[in-house]
Amino acid sequence: MKSVFFVLSFFLSSVGYAQQILSPNKKIKLVVEMQPAGQKGLSQVYFKVLYKSKEAYIEVLPASPLGILREDQQFTSNLKLIGEGKPVSVHDKYEMLTGKRKLCENFGTEKTFNYQNDSKQPLNITFRVYNDGVAFRYTFPNRSDSSLSIKDEATGYVIPEGTARWMQPFEQSYENFYPLSTSGSNEKNSGEWGYPALYKVNDQSLWVLISEAGITRQNCGAKLNNKQNTNLYKVSYPVAKKDMHGGVVSALPWKSQWHVMIVGKLADLVESTLITDVSEPTAFKDTKWIEPGSAAWVYWAYNHGSKDYQRVIEYIDLAVKMKWPYVLIDWEWDTMTNGGTLKDALNYARSKGIKTLLWYNSGTEWLGATPVDRLLTHEKREKEFSWLREIGVSGIKVDFFAGDQQAMMQYYIDILEDAAKHNLLVNFHGATIPRGWARTYPNLMSTEAVYGAEWYNNNGILTDKAASHNTTLPFTRNIVGSMDYTPVTFSNSQHEHKTSFAHELALAVVFESGLQHFADRPSAYYDLPEEPRGFLKNFPTTWDETKLINGYPGEMIVIARRKGKLWYVAGLNGKDTEQTLNLTFNFLGNSGYSFQIFKDGIDTKAITSETRSIKKSNTLQIQCLPRGGFAGVISEKGSSTLK
């Protein structure tokens, strides 16, 4: 028996060993293998991903390295495979309160490989191959009450030179562009890239989006680094900074975050819920108090907070007239003057049936924005959140987070858990990207982590880049979770728009966010023609279904989202020249439908409205101005439409 085990162990740990895992629909194949790694005959675990197109499998990720480093042990080279689990079926089925789809369902196959390093210390790597992608994570299964430092990973993604990619140079606020590149180098970048990262498999209509999910208190947030090899994007942990460790410190057992690759056609990526599929189920059962919705937002138009009581009242009145359930009272509410205080503003909102959200500084001293340091400890949060419920506030916006270190991940989770105890909604700004928390903590309504409309206030860069940027975000940032871009602005703040009014109107549909903060001044909405203004009234911010109709990053997008019996449809022209967008209706049933459409008029400030009869077999060609767009709503004939 011992000799049989020896032979099996030798076979499993040999360099030529390879295992395959197939998705349930057989479209995605993951291969795990051992390859030589450097000198001295050492070996390393690699994985690669293939996708079945017609009758053949196409390589969408070449062989890429796996491994992880602890301060006391390395688990990168010379790992020995000592065993493997049987393939297990995975079936994720759950409901979301926010996001692109209410009912989420995905199927996968899970398999765990058991390794030992040179010191005979164990490492497990668990793979899940879903119908729309791949996820994997590391586990240290043995037990230790002493804390250990997990410093770094050898995990990497090989993206060959010449591959078209859309990646964001890393900033801790994730507020940057996703420029198209066919090279891994960037003169303006230090070799660090933020999630999510999108690339196209060359000469194929296949795409891959790389990100991560399932962050717990045992994890930090990672990023990608290709400083050593421009074609190898290595997973890297944040460095230590003031009062925060770099990497992870934890007792054992320990599990990493899920490393996620969404794979398929562009529609597969846009419609995927893989980020929440691999995340933990909801941490609390009572969710009846959670109500996503649209909000009027005071900051954008004046590049200032909520110190002016009279201005806050104007936005409460805007919410009333537009039938939006919320108003966000931004920074400086603690020093509100000009005829009233915060208490007066809250009482006024309550008298009008409008719910309120309050801004908080996470605890930094950036910009002198107040209030500061009311949430940093559990005791402070309990005091503040109890007070908020007493005065009738429905949620908080927390701004200015300081990185992706483990301590910051713990801080995010602490805020979400403590807020939920007091029935408070949460919106994170100046923050990390979504990593699946909206499933675990459904009171998380949205996250910024985007170069959004707020940047019209800061400099003039967005003016020329907005259209292309707006048609890139649906294929990058917004795939991984709700995005608080603060869209639909028609007037100019500090810097001008070049996008058309119809383009701006379409952003309400194109950009998904559980709290959709409509950012312009009240007069901009009042001055809209009656039909497009009606389109924005009672606007839904959660969706039963999402369908990508057509699109290409940076060039254009046409998307449809269903709420109940209504389909909201929108398209954006990301180019500086006119473009015709094709709208097909094969997502509809076999009935007759009425389509109310708002599109570019004779110039960028004009919106034309019309209603036409359509059916599933129709195709509309919609001519868009440079940086233009369209939006509309589809209702089954005989049912109610916009009011």
CATH number at residue 486: 3.20.20.70
Looking up tokens 């589809």 gives: 634
pTM: 0.95
- Write out the residue range of the structural domain in which residue 344 sits: 293-531
DSSP summary character for residue 203: T
Question: 442 with 570, same domain?
Answer: no
Bridging pattern class, strands 425-428 and 395-399: parallel
Q: Give the pLDDT confidence of 241-256 residue by residue, as tens digits.
A: 888 888 999 999 999 9
Whether the bond into 292 is cis, omega within 30 of 0: no
Question: 402 with 501, same domain?
Answer: yes
Mean pLDDT of 79-99: 96
Question: 593 with 519, same domain?
Answer: no
Question: 24 with 168, same domain?
Answer: yes
Question: 490 with 562, same domain?
Answer: no
Three-state secondary structure call for residue 475: helix
Return the minimum-mean-pLDDT range out of 238-252, 409-423, 564-578: 238-252
Whether 5 has a pLDDT exceeding 50, the answer reads no
Question: 468 with 558, same domain?
Answer: no
Instruction: Examine residue 301 and state whether it is found in any structural domain, yes or no.
Output: yes
Which of the pair, 392 or 184, is modelled with greater confidence?
A: 392
Instruction: Examine residue 620 and state whether it is found in any structural domain, yes or no.
Output: yes
Cβ atoms of 444 and 418 closer than 8 Å: no
Q: Report the candidate in 494, 511, 110 with the shortest Cα–Cα distance to residue 294.
A: 511
Q: Give the pLDDT confidence of 477-508 residue by residue, as tens digits.
A: 999 999 999 999 999 999 999 999 999 999 99
Instruction: Examine residue 282 and state whether it is found in any structural domain, yes or no.
Output: no
Instruction: Examine residue 537 and state whether it is found in any structural domain, yes or no.
Output: no
> What is the per-residue pLDDT for 372?
84
CATH number at residue 619: 2.60.40.1180
Q: How many CB atoms lie within 10 A of CB 258?
A: 24
Q: Count the domains in the chain.
A: 3
Whether 363 has a pLDDT exceeding 90, the answer reads no
**C-alpha of 3 from chain center:** 51
Whether 310 has a pLDDT exceeding 90, the answer reads yes
Q: Is 307 left (phi over 0), alpha (psi -120 to 50) or beta?
A: alpha
Which of 497, 531, 565 represents a domain boundary (last residue)? 531
CATH number at residue 249: 2.70.98.10
* Spatial separation of the C-alpha atoms in residues 335 and 371, rounded to whole Å: 9
CB-based contacts of 293, cutoff 8 Å, min separation 6: 324, 325, 326, 355, 515, 516, 541
Q: Give the pLDDT confidence of 438-476 residue by residue, as tens digits.
A: 999 999 999 999 999 999 998 999 999 999 999 999 999
Question: 495 with 578, same domain?
Answer: no
Question: 154 with 262, same domain?
Answer: yes
Instruction: Examine residue 159 and state whether it is found in any structural domain, yes or no.
Output: yes
> What is the per-residue pLDDT for 186?
67
Which of 246, 277, 308 represents a domain boundary (last residue)? 277
Question: 343 with 420, same domain?
Answer: yes
Mean pLDDT of 615-625: 97
Instruction: Examine residue 300 and state whether it is found in any structural domain, yes or no.
Output: yes
Instruction: Examine residue 481 and state whether it is found in any structural domain, yes or no.
Output: yes
* Spatial separation of the C-alpha atoms in residues 332 and 328, rounded to whole Å: 12
Which of 247, 277, 307 represents a domain boundary (last residue)? 277
pLDDT grade for 37, boundaries at 50, 70 and 90: low
Q: Is 359 exposed, middle or buried, given 0-12, 13-18 or 19+ CB atoms closer than 10 A?
A: buried
Instruction: Examine residue 566 and state whether it is found in any structural domain, yes or no.
Output: yes
Q: Report the candidate in 553, 466, 588, 480 with the shortest Cα–Cα distance to residue 212.
A: 480
pLDDT grade for 637, boundaries at 50, 70 and 90: confident
Tokens of 514: 């559980």
H or E stretch covering 596:
strand 593-600
Question: 58 with 179, same domain?
Answer: yes
Question: At 158, which amino acid appears?
Answer: V
Question: 329 with 381, same domain?
Answer: yes
> What is the per-residue pLDDT for 128?
98
Q: Report the candidate in 151, 255, 284, 262 with the shortest Cα–Cα distance to residue 206.
A: 262
Question: 518 with 443, same domain?
Answer: yes
Q: Is 455 exposed, middle or buried, given 0-12, 13-18 or 19+ CB atoms closer than 10 A?
A: buried
